[in-house]
Structure 1
Amino acid sequence: MSKTTPEQNKALVLKAFDTLFNKRDYDAAERFWSEKYIQHSAHIPPGRNGLFNLIRSLPATLRYEPGVIFAEGDYVMVHGRFSGTGRPTAWIAADVLRVENGVFAEHWDVLQDEATQAESQSGLPMFGTRFPA
């Protein structure tokens, strides 16, 4: 049985992502990720330290912007943009997290390079209301 509500879990994800990706406060971020954190992403080494070490290796210009966020039970999915990674384009991500006892127990993601207006077959941006510059 869940100890937190979907609304609490959404707020947790937004606070945790800002703390780690934007503020880069690793000590504060530890309280959001379980010591037994399971990482399913093909782009991130295992465990909490794998994630934290990946973020440490990225440029200080890294920024995370959240978009649409959904929660049901212990699961949260957030659609967001990772920019300033040192790559030519931003990543658009769908991150899925499982919350257990108020911390992240598990994570999955789907990542895609952000398309420009010229690359977009739909004519619509992948994130937000505008195409990247």
Structure 2
Amino acid sequence: MTKTTPEQNKALALEAFETLFNKRDYDAAERFWSDRYIQHSAHISPGRDGLFNLVRALPDTARYESHLMVAEGDYVIAHGRFSSIGRPTAWIAADIIRFEDGKLIEHWDVLQDEATMAESASGLPMFGDRFPA
């Protein structure tokens, strides 16, 4: 069994998301996601194939941006933005990932449409330091 540190898990999560969502390199992405991957998202079919097929169905312009990652033990929480995904607004995501043997083994997410300045009761952006254009 491969044991990774929280810092290694954050780096693995960032590289995995970049490889799958931005580069669309499915063969390379297989090295990050376990073939026993458990998907808890309501909008993604089960397993690694479910996730990869969802990404294949996204527009070529789809992009993931990372803002913050925190890790403890085998878990990483990634705060990011999924943009140009074929929806009117980007999704701001908190992705919760569990690692096992150095691979993403389990995933949950919390998704919310990104608010504009006019929609934000707080007057603050949901991602980074400015509102979407």
The CA RMSD over aligned residues, in Å, is 1.0
Cα shift readout 1:3-32 (whole Å, capped 9, x = no counterpart): 100000000000000000000000000000
Number of the residue aligned with 1:26: 26
Residues 2, 73 of structure 1: 8 Å contact kept = no
**Structure 1: which 5+ runs fail to align?**
none
Cα shift readout 1:103-128 (whole Å, capped 9, x = no counterpart): 01100000000000000000000000
Structure-2 separation of matches of 1:43 and 1:29: 20
| Structure 2 residue matching 1:53: 3-state secondary structure | helix
TM-score, length of structure 1 as denominator length: 0.98
What are the residue-to-residue correspondences of 1:10-49 with 2, within 5 Å? 10-49=10-49
Residue 124 (structure 2) pairs with residue 124 (structure 1): yes
Number of the residue aligned with 1:72: 72
Structure-2 separation of matches of 1:91 and 1:43: 13
Structure-2 separation of matches of 1:57 and 1:22: 13
Cα shift readout 1:66-124 (whole Å, capped 9, x = no counterpart): 01110000000000000010111000000000000000110000000000000000000
Residue 97 (structure 2) pairs with residue 97 (structure 1): yes
Structure-2 separation of matches of 1:60 and 1:85: 9
Deviation at 1:2, TM superposition (A): 7.3
Residue 104 (structure 2) pairs with residue 108 (structure 1): no
**Structure 2: which 5+ runs fail to align?**
none
Report runs of 4+ in structure 1 exceeding 6 Å deviation: none
Structure-2 separation of matches of 1:86 and 1:98: 28
Structure-2 separation of matches of 1:28 and 1:49: 14
Residues 2, 74 of structure 1: 8 Å contact kept = no
TM-score, length of structure 2 as denominator length: 0.98
